Amino acid sequence: MVTNHVFEPLDPSQILASLWGGGGTLASKVTRSLSMPVTFLIEKLQALFPGETFTAGGGPRILSSGGRRYYGKVGTASEMEQYHAEKRSLQLMSAAAPGLCPSVISASHEGRPYLISDYLDLSSLSAFAGASSILARRLASELHTSKSENGKYGFECPTFCGATKIDNGWYDTWAEAYNAMIGGLLDKLERRGSYKELCIKGREIQEKVIPFYLGGRLKGVEPVLCHGDLWSGNVGADTDGNPAIFDPSSYYGHNESDLAIGRMFGGFSTAFYDEYHSLRPKSEPVEEYSQRLKLYQLFHYLNHTVLFGNGYSGQSMNLANQLLKSVPL
């Protein structure tokens, strides 16, 4: 998820600073807001590693006497689903592609939700020659080969693409799963009452375009693990040039769908996609790849309309019209 094309990930220390309020001066509020979550997180780490000591490292960082660095954050009761979704997404991605995303050290979504993971010191992917190519290979050969245990499409719990809740569930076909993803966004827009024409077009997409491109004519699709929000702001490289992905909104679906938002907002080169598809070829029919890409991008344009309003509704409408014109009457 991106905000008006400005690629500036939120400083996690700002999240920590906003969690706790109460009376007192501004200075005391800030001190208390930072110290209370950090103390809580240190207690969790101390219970896991009783032989070590832990100190606050500034912002979301916690330092251990053993030399490890951890990333920690604490949420509120209203954020329990978000924390559970992030934990499960990271756990599954770590199992599929070890080291490609932060490893969850400790987490809970009950009561006072929190998450502790490895702290990754990341720079832009483009800062390291070869990092983009490594990422393409790891996505194609590891993450996007990890299939759902039940053989179905969807996900075990609701996830969040940005702040938008995606209800998920399990579906026998990819067309059904993607139809539900699009439908959930249209439901949200319809409740607002100001996107009537877009929602009408969106329902036509569900009725005509999704069955046409993602139904029986689409060959070789399997329910593989997807990051779900794979744009340049959710990707980086560590000090050794190893790529990493984070802030997932995972689901099991068509691997091509995970490449859509990256083509919308930049950050990945043509060589990245060439490398990826050299290992994982485009699905058949190959000649419909570009139309499938537009269909997968529609999810993200609709989501940005949900999040940010009219600035993206026109792009969503334009894309919907293109897709509707591309299918037989």
Q: Where exactly does CATH 3.30.200.20 map onto the chain?
A: 12-118
pLDDT of residue 132: 96
- The yes-or-no answer on residue 229 being catalytic is yes
Average pLDDT per 10 consecutive residues for the chain, totaling 329 residues: 34 31 33 63 96 93 95 95 98 98 94 94 92 98 99 99 98 99 99 96 99 97 98 95 97 98 90 97 98 98 96 96 95
**CA dihedral for 127, 104, 15, 313, sign (positive or negative):** positive
What SS3 class is residue 233? helix
Instruction: Give me the sign of the Cα torsion angle 325, 258, 162, 11.
Output: negative
Do residues 17 and 322 make contact, with C-beta atoms less than 8 angstroms apart? no
Q: Which DSSP category does 223 fall into?
A: -
Say which CATH topology domain 12-118 has. Phosphorylase Kinase; domain 1 (3.30.200)
Q: What is the pTM of this model?
A: 0.88
pLDDT at 36: 63
pLDDT recorded at residue 152: 99
| 229, 238, 247, 258: the active-site residue | 229
Residues of CATH 3.90.1200.10 domain(s) within the chain?
125-326
The CATH superfamily assigned to 125-326 is Aminoglycoside phosphotransferase (APH), C-terminal lobe (3.90.1200.10)
